[in-house]
Every structure is written in C-alpha cells, then in structure tokens.
Amino acid sequence: MKINVVYNVEISGYEKVLSILEDTLISHKVEFKSFDISAMEKFGDFTFVIGGDGTLIKSAKFYSKFQIPVLGVNLGRLGFLSQAGVKDIDNMVSSVINGDYTVEDRIMLESENSLALNDFVIKGCIPSRTSKFYLKINDKFVCDYIADGLIVSTPTGSTAYGLSAGGPIIYPTLDAFVIVPICPHTLNVRPLVVPSGEIITVNTGDKMLSVAADGGESAEVSRISVKIAESKAKLAFLNNNGFYSVLRNKLHWGISLTD
C-alpha cells in the first residue's frame, strides 16, 4: 500500500501532527509522500488528510479524478467529515493497513469549471440587499425567490450551510440535491429536494450573481446551471464511525441540552 499524506500549513499545529503521522507510517513500513494542500499529487492508492473539513473537501475533489479514497485527521473546529483525532492516529493507520474501513461514493455538483462536494452558494452581488432569484429545473420554470441567496447542496453538504439555513439532513449516499433559500422574504418558501439527475438553473433577471463553490472565492456570473458531476468523491470511514453516530457525536443530534 502507498499513501498520500496531505496537510494544510494554514492550520495551527499541523507540523506536530504531520510528524506523528509520518513516524507512524514509517513504523508500519508504509511507503508514503507528503504534499501541501496547494501542491497535491497522485502517488499512492489511499490518502490521509491533516486539517479541517475544508482541507478534506479540497483533497477529496482532487483525488476523485483518480478514484482514491481520503480519510481525515481533524485539526479544525467541527471535523464532521474527518474520522480521527490526533490521539487516534496509530489506530487509524492500523485500520487502513488491515482494510478495516469502508469507502462511500459521494455525489458532487458541477457548474462550468467548478466542482462542489458540499454546495454552491448563490447570492446577489450587493450583499446588503435581498435579490430576486428565478429557479428553473430541466429548463422548466419552478418559482422565484426574494431572499438573501440560494444554496444548492449535495447530501454531503446538507449538514453544512444548508442545515444552518433551515434545510433538511439528507442521508449522504442518496442520489438527491436540496435547494435551500437563505432568509427568504416570505413564509411560504421551503427547501426543495430533487433527484440528482435534474439540471438546476438560477438567474436574477438582468443583474449578476455571486457564486461560491464549497465556501471558496466568489465569481460573478449572469446565470448558473448546476448538475451532477461525472466523478464521485471517495470518503473513507473507520468501521466504528457510521453516519448516525457522527450525527450524535459531532452535532449532538437528539441529545437534550439538560442531559
């Protein structure tokens, strides 16, 4: 087995964790190469990622074109997609070497040259104002929204910005997308779940849109069409970390605040 190790120099404490992981791989006699997130390469057939969910998402998108699984060591705030902490590194490496993990194929969104594992966030170009957004699905008019913006999310991204905006949690391997309005200026607007084969188009009349994929830099466009990407991200999970246990442990799902 050969391993890619990806790290993010912008996250505090990465040096110590990188050293521990590299020493652990050496002790297990595993061949590996380490790459900064800004200079990833294909070397191995499995990838460890040191950082937060943002680092893991960027790595998963890069390695998706090679169908290489990624597994995260969390140094971020929440680490919803990451599977291990610093203290778990030795067990994590042993589990991967022994094949004691599962890999889930996660659908992604694409628009033009942009790829999103979590979501596309669409807003007007004047942040302090609501905008009118016109939604079409498969070139058929659906409705218009007066809102701060729209989120077009994958099931993976349904626990991210879409959840904060009032959207549903979708089981991560379902073939569906969710469209969530951000602060809509009416009470009769609700999130819309659609099959993953639909083509979602949004514009705002003769004005420009501000579009960001996975929380990255925004680009100005006159309209955006979003569809399922050809490639899928491969996320690796240790066998004791199922989706529902992650909901409980990371989001404290269903746990009373008084407990």
Residue 128 CB partners (closer than 8 Å, separation 6+)? none
Residue 225 CB partners (closer than 8 Å, separation 6+)? 111, 199, 200, 201
Tokens of 189: 């607007």
Q: Which residues pair with 46 in a beta bridge?
A: 3
Amino acid at 49: V
Query: Active-site residue among 23, 53, 175, 259?
Result: 53
* Count of other CB atoms within 10 angstroms of residue 122: 29
Task: Specify whether 53 is catalytic.
Answer: yes
Amino acid at 122: I
Spell 161-200 as b/e; 16+ CB within 10 A means b: bbbebebeebebeeebbbbbbbebeeeebebbbbebebeb
CA nearest 92: which of 246, 250, 238? 238
Catalytic residues: 53
